[in-house]
Amino acid sequence: MVVQALKDQGVDTVFGYPGGAVLPIYDEVFQQNEIRHILVRHEQGAVHAAEGYARSTGKPGVVLVTSGPGATNAVTGLTDALMDSIPIVVLTGQVPTFMIGSDAFQEADTVGITRPCTKMNWLVKDTKDLSSVIHEGFHVATQGRPGPVLIDIPKDVQFASAEYTPPAKADLGHYQPRVKGDMETITELVEAIETAERPVFYTGGGVINSGPAASQLLRELVEATGIPITSTLMGLGAYPASGKHWLGMLGMHGLYEANLAMHGCDLMINVGARFDDRITGRLDAFSPHSRKAHIDIDPSSINKVIRVDMPIIGDVGHVLEDILKVWKSRGRKVNREGLQKWWAQIEDWKAVNCLSFKNDGPGIKPQYALERLEALTKGYDRYICTEVGQHQMWAAQYLGFEDPNRWMTSGGLGTMGYGFPASIGVQIAHPKSLVINVAGEASWLMNMQEMGTAVQYMAPVKQFILNNERLGMVRQWQELLHGERYSHSWSEALPDFVKLAEAFGAKGFQVSDPDKLDDAIMEMIEYDGPVIFDCLVEKHENCFPMIPSGEPHNKMLLGEASTKDAIGAKGAVMV
């Protein structure tokens, strides 16, 4: 019945790990060929792989794990998916209903444990409800602001038989979030667009979640109005990095021009982003002179941290369509003179060239490695995942994303160990594409067991490890904020990554010479199979630009290269 329900929901892939309490479902899985089951090596890997699958396809990811430890191992992935609004359906086995509460073997209060880290969860106590609940689960996971759901199925409920409810007849509950925005506020926003002197689009993951149509509409609106656009980490790719109105990513490690545009704008149009603390910096000095519009499908995002003047609750795609319609019908007006001056100002900021770095020294700079990776893989049908840390920020800064759903990273929760399993999920969904996980050696080791999965399924994922033998971001904060006391922020006893790859039956490379980097990257791309690429980089490189904690956007620190003279004199605090 479970497999039938999944088939009817259009599921083609399930990531999972068997165990005692899900054996009846695994027996069903065994006796069919329509749904492909990917055996991971750890349940956390299953959820991240499903996230990668979901984020790169726009379809919900599905996970099947057992009770107790199977379920608790999934918790990190569930929380990650909740923070980043990724639609995931997790099916967990549970001890039989008559044993619940008896501290049975591999029993855990799964719905209790996962309640705060799911959008919704269910314990199904009667087989006749099972198929209907699964359909409702898919509905809840994908509608409104997407998120993870969990369905806990006791073993006796799996064994018992009951009449199957097809999706069309399932009771989906009352959950029907509104998708159309309020027309009055939309008109107000259009008026503001027409007159604003210094407008900026600030877009987020909501544009990606809304679907490819939303990205298209966004592009149309930006091109037609000529308004500059910046994006959060989660929103990269909605507007192409090669687009002429693109300012680059904003936030704590965002670009100089993007953050100063946010600080100095007079109209901020937030499209599907949530004023995260990594974006806003110091709240009382956040974009002090702007009117703010906020388009979000989740009413609780509105006025949560930043008070906005024009709240529009609705799906980004629908709202953008209405904005375009109203703006066109009112004569496609913008404040040309104001915009011209605004762009001149932005060009000045761009001229600072905040991503420049000193490519000196004999070793490979991490920024250089990513520049080369970008240059050599640009033309490919490419998907990028990352782990969490400095490499993640550098990847966001130095790689260009032309399309939505091509960038998988753990933004809200910041889960080290996300990228590798996510890259496997992406590769399973797109077997012919080039899937690269930009990683740090420390993050990567957190879920390295998934090498087994990659090799078993011949998923040719490229693990591009920027190995500085440090927890780079932790080290950077210790340098800047904790008096250079590097408490436990180095990676001791690292494995030989080349031998590690070989031990799993994959291919390993190690590069430390900048002159050999290009050839090695090309070899990595051309190798048909999983690759661990151990790129030994400069150990003490810091990630810039950076807005220090507790500072507003206009107090960015720029990199050593462009602040060389300032250091020692007035400090590197750039205004």
Establish whether 106 is a catalytic residue: yes
Q: Of residues 252, 416, 473, 574, which has the active-site annotation?
A: 473
Cβ closest to another protein, residue 75 vs residue 438: 75
CB of 120 to another protein, least distance (A): 4
Distance CA 144, CA 320 (A): 16
- The C-alpha atoms of residue 338 and residue 518 are separated, in whole angstroms, by 44
Question: Quick check: is 43 catalytic?
Answer: yes
Pairing label, strands 88-94, 36-39? unpaired
> Which residue, 203, 209, 82, 79, is CA-closest to 143?
209
Separation between Cα atoms, residue 268 and residue 225, nearest integer Å: 14
Q: How many CB atoms are closer than 10 A to CB 557? A: 19
- Output 439 or 474, the one with its CB closest to another protein: 474
Amino acid at 526: E
CA distances from 359 to 207, 295, 394, 429, 539 (A): 36, 41, 15, 37, 14
Least distance to another protein from the beta carbon of 276, Å? 10
**Between 406 and 475, whose beta carbon lies closer to another protein?**
475
Contacts of 32 (CB under 8 A, 6+ apart): 3
Distances in Å between the Cα of 245 and the Cα atoms of 280, 328, 379, 488 are 21, 20, 21, 42
Place of tokens 């497999």: 3
Work out how close the CB of 296 gets to another protein at its nearest, in angstroms, rounded to a whole number: 11
| Continuous H helices in 68-211 | 69-73, 75-83, 110-114, 127-142, 155-159, 183-195, 205-210
Note the helical H segments in 292-410: 316-329, 336-351, 366-377, 390-398
Which chain residues interact with another protein by CB under 8 A? Answer: 111-112, 115-116, 119-121, 123, 140, 144-145, 173-175, 252, 277-278, 281-284, 286, 298-300, 302-307, 479-481, 483-484, 548-551, 555, 557, 567, 571-573
Closer to another protein at the Cβ: 79 or 409? Answer: 79
Minimum distance between the CB of residue 280 and another protein, rounded to whole angstroms? 8
Alpha-carbon gap, residue 370 to 466, rounded angstroms = 9
Q: Whats the size of the chain, residue-wise?
A: 575
- Rounded to a whole number of angstroms, the CA Rg of the chain reads 24
> Is 155 assigned a catalytic role?
yes
Residue 482: CB minimum distance to another protein, A: 8
- Pick the closer one to another protein by CB: 311 or 419: 311
Q: Work out whether strand 229-231 and strand 246-249 pair parallel, antiparallel, or are unpaired.
A: parallel
Q: Which is nearer to another protein, 286 or 418 (CB)?
A: 286
Residue of 15, 136, 143, 155 marked active site: 155
CA distance 422 to 428: 10
Which CB atom, from 331 or from 483, has the smaller least distance to another protein? Answer: 483
Which of residues 121 and 467 has its CB atom nearest to another protein in the complex? 121
C-alpha–C-alpha distance, residues 412 and 391, integer Å = 16
Residue closer to another protein, measured from CB, 110 or 367? 110
Task: Specify which residues 39 forms β-bridges with.
Answer: 16
Find the shortest distance in angstroms from Cβ 292 to another protein. Answer: 12
Q: Which of 28, 99, 106, 523 is catalytic?
A: 106
Catalytic residue among 30, 98, 105, 159: 105
Which segments of 431-472 are extended strands (E)?
A: 434-440, 462-467
Number of C-beta neighbours around residue 340 at 10 A: 12
Gap between the Cα atoms of 313 and 298, Å rounded: 7
Output the smallest distance, CB 485 to another protein, in A: 11
Minimal distance, residue 113 CB to another protein, in Å: 11
Helix, strand, coil share (%) of the chain residues, nearest 5:
40, 15, 40
Rounded least distance, CB 313 to another protein, Å? 10
272 closest CA partner among 231, 213, 239: 231
Residue 394 structure tokens: 């550098």
Catalytic residues: 43, 105-106, 155, 473
